[in-house]
Amino acid sequence: MDQKPTNTFNPSQHGIKESFRLTDYSDLRGWGCKVPQAVLTRLLEETNLDLSPNNTDNVKIGIGLDACLMPTRFENVSIIQTVDFFYPLIDDPYTMGQIACANVVSDLYAFGIYEIDKIQMILSICDQFSEHEVDVITPLIIKGFQDTGKAAGAFVVMQSATINPWCIIGGIATSVCSQKDYINPMNAQIGDVLVLTKPLGVQIACNVNRWRDNPAKWESVLNAISDEEANTLFDTAVQNMCRLNKNAAFLMHKYEAHAATDVTGFGILGHAENLVKFQEQNVKFVIHSLPFIKNVLSVAEAVNGKKKLLDGRAPETSGGLLICIPKDNADSFCKEIEEMDKSKAWVIGTVETGTKTVEIVNNVNIIES
Ligand code: MG
């Protein structure tokens, strides 16, 4: 996959006044912002779909999990599907397309699915764009999305393109699979460990880059790290967001993972809490280590965001997989994924007897990567 530098898109070179990311999203406060996790769960529960982790046919038409697993009329053939969409969080439309696609397919990877059949792209163009801006920005977003979809091995089509007050990039990812192709995310065993495959802090890293346009905030950033460190922080975040969780999904089978989820908008704690809730055994997750992108914590401290990061509540985009895996297999998993992805994974916790809660220990071990 193309891992080009990320701070290079210059709107003025394209005859555009501003980045598409700078569109006024203030109206989103009412409608477009993420629904709080508790509210979302309540809304979904009211749909009365089967949430029981004990349904005997081993097939979930589920909600609250990363993707929907649907039986078909063919024996041992299921369809697993997810839909997700995003608002731009960086300036470069091509890279934003890559990130959006990686984030869409990540929910399938969390099920251990590593062969994706089809991705249908959904795009809404901002009605504040001029015709020229539409002509420049749209093909770049689509190309970035397509390139990442191809890297995932999927057939990518444009499903829907509309005009809206906001630029929205997303899609539907589908895999046709048999039972051996997926790992139901509900079999965590006492004695397992928790592995995380990407470092935390990408949204703060994106904010740091955005604050270059905000003199007061930028001054706070420069009190904590240098301009060059801020660039490296942002580039590292973008590379992590662009990277598919495909190899992690593949290795989940090889190393007999018992359950996984991907870490996105609700932060590592929110997604860990969601995963533990669906476990068949009475377990709890104990998180003893939190890996962050280098310098994220220093910046977060300078802008009063450190507590949210250490509490595990800072939102991520296109984050890594959080995987419950047998303790004896974890080191080999981490070693092999580092060889494949050229990026580290970490053992960050343990699965213990408990009441389906998640605990981040006091004095959690901070890892900077
Ligand atoms: Mg997910």
Condensed to tens digits (0 to 9), the pLDDT of residues 248-266 reads 999 999 999 999 999 999 9
How many Å apart are CA 169 and CA 167, to the nearest integer?
Answer: 7
* Amino acid of residue 183: I
CA distances for 359 relative to 78, 287, 349, 362, angstroms: 35, 6, 9, 9
Residue 91's Cβ-count burial label (10 Å; 0-12, 13-18, 19+) is: buried
Instruction: Give the distance (Å) from ligand 1 centre to CA of residue 271.
Output: 8
CA distances for 230 relative to 70, 92, 315, angstroms: 44, 17, 19
* Amino acid of residue 11: P
Instruction: Give the distance (Å) from ligand 1 centre to CA of residue 133.
Output: 32
Instruction: Give the distance (Å) from ligand 1 centre to CA of residue 149.
Output: 17
pTM for the complete prediction?
0.88
Mean of pLDDT over the chain: 88
Please identify every residue annotated as catalytic.
33
How many Å apart are CA 328 and CA 311, to the nearest integer?
Answer: 28
Instruction: Give the distance (Å) from ligand 1 centre to CA of residue 368.
Output: 24
- Token look-up 């779909």 returns 49
Note the pLDDT tens digit of each residue in 265-320. Answer: 999 999 999 999 999 999 999 999 999 999 999 999 998 889 999 999 999 999 99
Instruction: Give the distance (Å) from ligand 1 centre to CA of residue 164.
Output: 25
Beta strands in 103-255 (DSSP E): 118-126, 155-164, 168-177, 193-196
State the maximum Cα–Cα separation within the chain, in Å, rounded to a whole number.
61
Residue 297, classed as helix, strand or coil, is helix
